[in-house]
Amino acid sequence: MNIEAGQLAVITGAGSGIGRALAVQLSQAGVHLSLCDLSEPNLEQTQDLCRTAASGATRIHIHRADVGDEAQVLGFRDAVISAHGTQHINLLFNNAGIGGGGSFVKTDRTEWERTFNVCWTGVYFGCRAFLPLLIASERGCLVNVSSVNGFWASLGPGVSHTAYSAAKFAVKGLTEALITDLSLHAPHVSCAVVMPGHIGTSIALNTGEVLGHGSALEMSAASVAAVRDRMSRSGAAVSDLPDAEIRRMLQQRAIDFRDKAPTTADQAASIILDGVRADRWRILVGEDAHRLDEMVRSDPERAYEPAFADAWRDGKPPLV
């Protein structure tokens, strides 16, 4: 699909990371924008960046919304219609997501369901709310952001990763099913599923805030104890470290996740937009995503064995 000046794009999770990078690059192309996020200050920063980058008289509308709440998503849709004076959009990026909800067995159900609701139900609500506006356009594209954890439900042995993985598998499944559904009932609308690897975003820093835990530096003693136990079982020598040091380590890990990633958010956005322009329905983002995809496809039966994760971490060829 061509991306052209004067089109209208809707992006969730636009306050940082990939969502912000998509917004800036689309504004450079002269695309009008409606952006939502939970953080209004972050949204305002994105809006300022887009105004600086914008080509021509680009409209940049922001709206605070929790994508896990359907009423708020519908409110965002109504605000888009009002702000732009239109009944159609051209591009929808269901991008918002958080981490958390690691163990189905051990994790608090409220945290598990909150993670799942943002990462999956937020995409579902976004599709329900905005697909009619895409169908009302001459040409539209629906882009749902999944993850490599949408085809590999793991972070390796010793780390539970259930809510996020289940949600991202659901996002992938819906999007793939929509390929046929749209071709039958709205052939002028295409769709794409995006599966990023490790991208330099603030998801690790933002997740605690969304889940109500605050930053890693504000983590409760009970949460620190759970982390200490998990790290000890993974072989880390943390049994004698004070709680404050565990908190500091986790905060630094979140910062390093953002700042030391192999692929930046800007690079990820460029790959995604190039994929949309090329009418690709399956967009892997990052060399690590391509390599992991190859490994899982080559030997799916062993994808959850320790040797698979060891090969992945060590940069070895796919298991044969």
Q: Is the full-model pTM beyond 0.85? A: yes
C-alpha triplet 182, 188, 190: angle, nearest 5°? 55
DSSP run (H or E) holding 183 = helix 162-185
Q: Mean pLDDT over all residues of the chain? A: 89
Strand, coil or helix: 20: helix
Q: What is the pLDDT of residue 319?
A: 45
Q: Does residue 218 surpass a pLDDT of 80?
A: no
User: Within 10 Å of residue 229's Cβ, how many Cβ atoms?
Assistant: 12
Q: How far apart are CA 151 and CA 128, in angstroms?
A: 24
Q: What is the pLDDT of residue 112?
A: 95
User: Which tens digit of pLDDT belongs to each residue from 102-156?
Assistant: 999 998 899 999 999 999 999 999 999 999 999 999 999 999 999 999 999 999 8
Please compute the mean of the pLDDT values over residues 282-303 and round it to a whole number: 96
From the list 76, 93, 125, 164, the catalytic residue is: 164
Q: How far apart are CA 224 and CA 242, in angstroms?
A: 10
Residue 116: is it exposed, middle or buried by C-beta count within 10 angstroms (0-12/13-18/19+)?
Answer: buried
Strand order across the 60-64 sheet: 60-64, 32-37, 8-12, 91-94, 140-145, 189-196, 282-285
Q: Does residue 87 surpass a pLDDT of 90?
A: yes
Is residue 124 among the annotated active site residues? no
Q: Does residue 209 surpass a pLDDT of 60?
A: no
Q: Which two tokens stand for residue 205?
A: 């820093």
User: Which tens digit of pLDDT belongs to each residue from 188-198?
Assistant: 999 999 999 99
Written as one letter, the residue type at 131 is L
Query: In the chain, what percentage of residues exceed pLDDT 90?
Result: 72
